[in-house]
Amino acid sequence: MSTITSESAAEKNLDFFFIANQPALDLANTLIAAKGVPLELMPNFHSFCRWVEKAGLAPVDQIKRASQTWSRLQEEAFMDGLRDYRARVKEVIVALGNKKPVPNSFVEETNRLLIEANAVVQVEAHDAKTFRRTWPLNWSQPKSVFGLIAETGLQLICDCDLSLVRKCESPDCVLAFYDTTKNHKRRWCSMDVCGNRHKATLHRRKVQGSSAQRSP
């Protein structure tokens, strides 16, 4: 099946979806569907850089450094690997939705990428009272940047309650999210889109049912 690229998405005023509350899931949500046809929101390295910036995963100056130093072959190879890892994240989402464990292949691939990135965790002060774990990234090396992506996968399976990783309940939607609501009853990627569409469908069925009952 062919895949629509983000050039087509731009014509439809679509952009990245940051509705997941978790960066690995946000990565998974860069491949969506439009009327059953895969819609690619990250077709090239430039779009990846834009996604990293919007996701707040790295400073803009570091991202620009990569875009200025990588060869075209490095960019293409990186994107192939990124799409492979994204597919593995989607496999995790499907497995969890079916009440199955995280695939070992995902854990192994995440560890492989972290090892190749020479990921040495450090503590960085965000402000006087806030700290975060990080490691120095060498943006001139694709393997190092892959460590950034693998770290989002590590966060997903190590820091999240996996029972709260869910897919939007709309059968026509492929977006996933981490439910951080107070009562953990979130059902939709967005109430403004899929939630309201579901309500409209229920209302239409109710009206049709009432009309059928009134018919002689």
Could you tell me what percent of the chain has a pLDDT over 70?
82
Contact 113, 146 (CB under 8 A): yes
Question: Tell me: the pLDDT tens digits for 28-78?
Answer: 999 998 777 889 999 999 999 999 999 999 888 888 888 788 999 999 999
Question: Tell me: the pLDDT tens digits for 70-117?
Answer: 999 999 999 999 999 999 999 999 999 999 999 999 999 999 999 999
Q: Whose CA is closest to 57, among 135, 131, 114?
A: 135
**Statement: residue 10 has pLDDT above 50:** no
- What residue segments make up the domains of the chain, in order of their start? 6-184
CATH fold, domain 6-184, is Jann2411-like fold (1.10.3300)
Please list the alpha-helical segments (H only) found in the chain. 6-11, 23-28, 45-55, 60-69, 72-97, 104-116, 142-159, 196-214
**Statement: residue 8 has pLDDT above 50:** no
Give me the chain's average pLDDT, please.
Answer: 85
pLDDT for 209 equals: 52
Please, which residues bridge with residue 132 across strands?
Answer: 124
Please, which residues bridge with residue 123 across strands?
Answer: 133
DSSP 8-state code for residue 4: B
Within 13 A of 44's CA, how many CA atoms are on the CB side? 9
pLDDT for 91 equals: 98
